[in-house]
Structure 1
Amino acid sequence: MAAYWISTYVEVTDEEKLAAYAALAGPALEGAGGTFLARGLPEQVYEAGRSTRTVLIEFASVGAAVAAHDGSAYQEALAALGDGAVRDLRIVPGA
C-alpha cells in the first residue's frame, strides 16, 4: 500500500540552509523511490490552515518512506538543514 510523506514548514529560520537541504534532499528521496506530488505554498487555506511551505511525496509503502528518511543520503540533507527550519513531518499510509 502506498504511503505519503507530508512535511509542513512551520518556520524557516535560514534560507541558505534550506537551499542546501533542498539540493540534497530531492535527489536522496527520489533515489529512495519517492515521487514528489506537490511542493510549495498553498493556493488556498481553510479552517486552521497556514500558508506555509508543504511537501507531499508518495512512496510504495510506509517502510520505504521510513527507510528513505533514515538512509544516509537523507541524513546528510538533514545535517545541511540543521536549525534552518522547524518542520512537521508525517508519514501516512494510503487509504
Structure 2
Amino acid sequence: MAKGYWVSVHPAISAERLTAYDKLAGPAVQAGGGRVLSLLPSRGGRVVAHEAGITQRVVLIEFDSFEQAVAAYESEAYQKALVALPRRRRARLPHHRRRRLTGGPRHR
C-alpha cells in the first residue's frame, strides 16, 4: 500500500502560537499514526534558501496510507490544534499550504 504524507509550509508564527499548536498537534498526529520525517528549521535552527527556495517552516509527516493521512487531518484532536493557529492562516492552511500526497513507485 502506498504511504501518505503531509507537507506543510508555515509562514512566520509567533512562538506562543507555535507552542500552543505543537502541544496539541504532536499528540494528534502521533495518535493518527503519523511520523515526523523532517522539521525545518528546528527551533533555533537556520535555513538558507537557494534557487528561489523558501525559508518558512516546512514539516514533512509520513503515514502508512493516504487514507490514514486524511483521517488524521480530519480528526477532532487535530482540528482542535488548528484553532491555535492565527485565524487568517488557519483558514488558508488546509487548502493552500498543506498538501496530502500519496506515495508513488520509488525511483531508483
TM-score (norm 1): 0.85
TM-score (norm 2): 0.76
Q: Which has more radius of gyration?
A: 2
Unpaired runs of 5+ in structure 1?
A: none
Residues 1:10 and 2:11 aligned together? yes
User: Which is richer in strand?
Assistant: 1
CA contact (8 A) 1:18 1:84 kept: no
**Per-residue CA shift, 1:30-52, capped at 9, x if unaligned?**
11000110112274433221111
Task: Select the structure with the greater relative contact order (CA < 8 A; seq sep ≥ 6).
Answer: 1
State the secondary structure of the residue aligned to 2:87.
Answer: coil
Aligned CA RMSD, in angstroms, stands at 1.9
Report % sequence identity. 40
1:35-74 to 2 correspondences below 5 Å: 35-41=35-41, 43-74=47-78
Q: Which runs of 4+ in 1 moved over 6 A?
A: none
